Structure 1
Amino acid sequence: MNHYLYFNSRLIQHVFKQAEKLNLGKDWICYQLDLNHIDLELFKSLKPPQYMQHAVAQRQLEFYSGRILTQAILAHHFNFYQPITSCVQRLPQWISPILGSISHSKQQVVVMVSCQVNYIGMDIEHWVSEELLTDGQHLILNQQDLNIWQKAQSYFSFQQFLTLVFSMKESLYKAVYPQVQHYIDFLDASLFEISFAEQRVKLKFSDHIQKKYQLLDEYDGYWQVAPNHIMTWVSQLK
């Protein structure tokens, strides 16, 4: 039996007040939190889970803020108060029919939750560094991704496109991880369709990975661009 980490209502309400609800469609509830507004001292009375006992201060801030914001969303929008943070298992313990995803980049945390989906994965990424742009793109982009770049270059800089692909694949891996339970290389997933009007892509895994883990033939991904970052999510309605 797992032991769970409980957050008091005062702490949940405080974090929730600092968050901003994002309009990403009626089928998902999503909030973004600027960690510059959250003081790590708020969490000093909490006993960290086993896997967080040696985490640095920034990681603690990201972890607690994301988990507490998630509990706030569950309470406010779903009337759900059961804790989802296990003290021994790293991943949130979602209770059907609710599924969600948590991501962070620099000082931003986003949480997306839905009770209308079969799977969900979300990611936030600030624009990739010049180093990754020049030295790491071969670890992210395969030939099918580069084919999409031929269509995307009228809408994105290459830096933005590389960030989009990186983030989409992160969202995809989060969406399928409960089924796969294993790391999948970035080059084993591809974008093969893109719609700029709908801000939507279709993704697929290599034949080997798809068959090995009995994954779907294709997955739908969505994105929203902000001035210095991008948010992506991969999900399917029931």
Structure 2
Amino acid sequence: MNTQTAKMKKEYELNDIVHSTRKISVTLPNLVFYYCNYKTDNYNDISLRNYVDSLTYNQLRSSSTKRKIEFLAGRLLAKKALSDFGENVCLISIKKNHLPAWPEKYIGSISHSNGAAISIVARKSEYQGIGIDIESYMEDATTKEIEKKILTTDDFIFFKKTPLDKTIITLIFSAKESLFKALYPEAGHYFSFKAAKIELINFQKGLISLKLLTTLSPTLQKGSCFNGFFKLDTDHVYTCILNPKQKN
């Protein structure tokens, strides 16, 4: 099989799994954001084997079909985003801490939830960290339990005039997940949902800001604010939080 035939065969296999891929418009500079849907009907391990190195394949070999497809969809989007920067790389592998192994000059984030995946990539020269998250809307029955785990006293005050329905709770949950992804590489340790509060939400512009309520590291001090954006789709919420490099 020649190279062109092999490439066409791979693309055919991917079309059976990943579909509706599109680039999401982002107004901030040096960010590339992609979204796709994926399905499980026609998956087999040949698709995964064709797109990952042997080490990554062995790491995922015993995982569920759902996990393998999520991995493949997210990594393919990351590869597509990197190609927009002119980087022709193989799929992003897995580091020992289970984080994606991004190319040296880039930083990014990947998320997936119930048939949808997203990935965002940026130049490391511009951002210290970046986090994205996509979530299906929570069930009404679980929001009360979840809100106690993720909302601070300040959050309850912030939303005192806004019903804490499944849309709001899912949005807050997703934003704090994105914050964790954006800050964890710099913090170097886990921190809870209550380490930060919602500082601002602009539903018209899809903008959100969070403020740290505790110091996470010498460079991530209490009171630091981190901005981002969000989108409320029909079936999913997605959020992105940015940790830009400090300009000297």
Same fold (TM over 0.5): yes
* Residues 133-142 or 104-113, more deviating: 133-142
In the alignment, which of 70, 92, 95 is matched to residue 85 of structure 1? 92
Aligned residue pairs, count: 225
* Contact preservation (8 Å) 1:123, 1:167: yes
- Counterpart residue type for residue 102 of structure 1: I
Residues 1:133 and 2:143 are matched in the alignment: yes
In the alignment, which of 33, 36, 41 is matched to residue 33 of structure 1? 36
Corresponding position of 2:71: 63
Residues 1:149 and 2:149 are matched in the alignment: no
In the alignment, the residues of structure 2 paired with residue 110 and residue 43 of structure 1 have an alpha-carbon distance, to the nearest angstrom, of 18
1:84–1:36 Cα change, 3 Å: closer
TM-score for the superposition, normalised by structure 1:
0.82
Higher relative contact order (CA 8 A, sep 6+): 1
Secondary structure of the corresponding residue to residue 160 of structure 2:
helix
Corresponding position of 2:118: 110
Deviation at residue 88 of structure 1 after TM alignment: 5.1
Identity %: 24
In the alignment, the residues of structure 1 paired with residue 11 and residue 82 of structure 2 have an alpha-carbon distance, to the nearest angstrom, of 11
* Residues 212-221 or 95-104, more deviating: 212-221
Corresponding position of 2:3: none
Aligned 1:209-224 pairs, distance under 5 A: 210-212=215-217, 214-216=219-221, 217-224=224-231
- Counterpart residue type for residue 86 of structure 1: S
* Residues 111-120 or 34-43, more deviating: 34-43
Deviation at residue 146 of structure 1 after TM alignment: 1.4
1:169–1:9 Cα change, 3 Å: farther
- Counterpart residue type for residue 129 of structure 1: E
Deviation at residue 58 of structure 1 after TM alignment: 0.2
* Contact preservation (8 Å) 1:12, 1:72: no
1:73–1:158 Cα change, 3 Å: same
Secondary structure of the corresponding residue to residue 78 of structure 2:
helix
In the alignment, the residues of structure 1 paired with residue 94 and residue 210 of structure 2 have an alpha-carbon distance, to the nearest angstrom, of 34
1:88–1:171 Cα change, 3 Å: closer
In the alignment, the residues of structure 1 paired with residue 119 and residue 36 of structure 2 have an alpha-carbon distance, to the nearest angstrom, of 9
Corresponding position of 1:53: 61
Deviation at residue 182 of structure 1 after TM alignment: 2.0
Deviations 1:41-98 (Å, cap 9, x if unpaired)? 22255546254232111001101221122112212x0111234633553211223432
Deviations 1:107-143 (Å, cap 9, x if unpaired)? 1011111224332100111111234213222001111
Corresponding position of 2:203: 196
Secondary structure of the corresponding residue to residue 136 of structure 1:
helix
In the alignment, which of 159, 172, 194 is matched to residue 166 of structure 2? 159
In the alignment, the residues of structure 2 paired with residue 195 and residue 31 of structure 1 have an alpha-carbon distance, to the nearest angstrom, of 23
